[in-house]
């Protein structure tokens, strides 16, 4: 009689232990799922580094538009033939005319030329608008010639308002300026004649 009672107690205890283990397992899984989800990048984080598609159909010759990529301003400039000629004129006055010393990212191979742009769209210049000195945003000074804070033979380009660094119309820094390097050119590609994507090219996303 006692053996049967002991068997019944042992059976009840075994059932209780199994139920407890199963409940604990479910609880553990439930706790792990939110934790694992928290490790995945948020939608905001993804968007911060995601490629940016830009419509340039309204970008007239001589005009510039600014978009945001990775939290930084990026210029897209439709350079005129005169502006491209000014790029060549600036060569002797530049610190690194061949862009041999990159700033925070390597120059894309397809932009490794005098205009620092794609050969099939050489008029379109794309650059990260962050001065390589202390990170200020330069301002456009496209008009050539003498003007405040610029030399009398100014060929057109950009002036950093913080410490006076100047860049030509291909984002290359002039000699003897605080900024040590040329502006970054991000990876980009054209998806149509009037649309380009910043942050992505034939090799994939940056």
Strand partners, 72: 69
**pLDDT in the model for residue 14:** 54
Q: Please give the model's pTM, rounded to 2 decimal places.
A: 0.76
**pLDDT in the model for residue 206:** 77
Q: Look-up: residue for tokens 């119309």?
A: 169
**pLDDT in the model for residue 49:** 78
**What's the rounded Cα separation, in Å, for the pair 183 and 173?**
7
**pLDDT in the model for residue 113:** 95
**pLDDT in the model for residue 32:** 41
Q: Which three-class secondary structure state does DSSP give residue 45? A: helix
| Series of mean pLDDT values for 10-residue runs along the chain (206 residues) | 49 52 47 42 56 97 97 97 94 95 96 96 98 96 92 94 96 97 98 97 89
**pLDDT in the model for residue 87:** 95
Q: What strands, in cross-sheet order, belong to the sheet with 139-141?
A: 139-141, 157-159, 166-168
**pLDDT in the model for residue 56:** 97
**pLDDT in the model for residue 45:** 44
């Amino acid at each position: 009689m006692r053996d049967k009672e002991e068997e019944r107690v042992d059976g009840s205890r075994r059932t209780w232990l199994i139920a407890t283990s199963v409940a604990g397992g479910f609880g553990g899984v439930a706790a792990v799922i939110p934790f694992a989800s928290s490790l995945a990048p948020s939608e905001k984080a993804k968007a911060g580094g995601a490629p940016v598609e830009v419509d340039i159909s309204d970008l007239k010759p001589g005009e510039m538009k600014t978009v945001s990529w990775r939290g930084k301003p990026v210029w897209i400039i439709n350079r005129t033939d005169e502006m491209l000629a000014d790029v060549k004129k600036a060569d002797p006055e530049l610190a690194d005319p061949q862009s041999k010393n990159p700033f925070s990212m390597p120059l894309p191979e397809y932009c490794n030329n005098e205009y620092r742009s794609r050969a099939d769209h050489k008029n379109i210049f794309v650059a990260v608008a962050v001065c390589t000195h202390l990170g200020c945003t330069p301002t456009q000074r496209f008009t050539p010639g003498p003007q405040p804070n610029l030399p009398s033979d100014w060929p057109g380009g950009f002036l950093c308002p913080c410490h006076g660094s100047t860049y030509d119309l291909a984002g290359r820094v002039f000699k003897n300026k605080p900024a040590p390097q040329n502006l970054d050119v991000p990876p980009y590609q054209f998806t149509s004649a009037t649309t380009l994507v910043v942050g992505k090219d034939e090799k994939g996303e940056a």
